[in-house]
Homo-oligomer: A and B are copies of this chain.
Amino acid sequence: MTADVTDAVVLFSGGMDSATVLAIARAQGFRCHALSFDYGQRHEAELAAAARLAPRLGALDHRCVRLDLRAIGGSALTDASLAVPEAPGEGIPVTYVPARNTIFLSYAVAVAEVLGAGAIFIGVNAVDYSGYPDCRPAFIEAFERVANLGTRAGVQDRPLRVHAPLIALSKAQIIQQGTRLAVPYAETVSCYQADAAGRACGRCDACRLRAAGFEAAGIADPTRYR
């Protein structure tokens, strides 16, 4: 499981999935560079959690890139005129941010190229993916191809790999794996509308998936609810 030590850019939101991914990348021996985005999301508590958690989880450094996705709009997470749903719906949810993972991964490629990193880690999940198209395995594979064709990596034959270690795991399996790696889940924030102290609403899609995950994993839910 342990690879040669090499540098990895880890997309890290401060939520439970990306905290688990950072712990996995470290356990595999990567030198990890955490990368967060401030994209006008409603849950800024998640970013505060990211800044606290990155060094605790062994990241060598933590970048936060400010993105102006509000200029694009179209999502309840970045557009204050759209309400966050509190009941399960059908199809792609309104909390979907257009092309979000594509944009995040593009920045990760840029950082990887500047650092000379050979790996990018992202916490997408195709099982409990909540209907987002950019969480599917085919998307990750296609993006890896773009990353190699669009950078020096491809030209200089030093391939860049995109790792999505949670992609085939259920929320319960993610929680079980993270618990074995001592991820402090009480300090991760998943809620789409957490309050300033990071306390969760308990009602949005992200809260419902998270709570169901702890229940299915048979692990007490440490989430701080308001």
A contact set with B: CB distance below 8 Å: 63, 65-69, 71-74, 92, 96-103, 105-107, 109-111, 113-114, 133-134, 136, 138-139, 142-143, 145-147, 149-152, 154-155
Contacts and interface: CB of A to CB of B under 8 A. Distances in A.
A109 B102 contact: yes
A41 to B, nearest CB: 14
A149 B155 contact: no
A25 B10 CA distance: 38
A137 to B, nearest CB: 10
B73 A63 contact: no
How many copies of this chain are found per oligomer?
A: 2
A13 B113 CA distance: 23
B99 A151 contact: yes
A134 B106 contact: no
A98 B110 contact: yes
Task: Give 10 closest A-B pairs by Cβ, nearest first.
Answer: A99-B110, A74-B114, A134-B150, A98-B113, A98-B110, A139-B149, A99-B109, A103-B106, A102-B106, A106-B106
A142 B152 contact: no
Give the most central of A69, A102, A155: most B CB within 10 Å: A102
Given A98-B109, A99-B109, A155-B92, A114 B149 contact: no
16 contacts: A92-B155, A99-B106, A99-B147, A102-B110, A102-B150, A103-B103, A105-B106, A106-B106, A133-B151, A134-B149, A138-B149, A139-B149, A142-B142, A142-B145, A142-B150, A143-B150
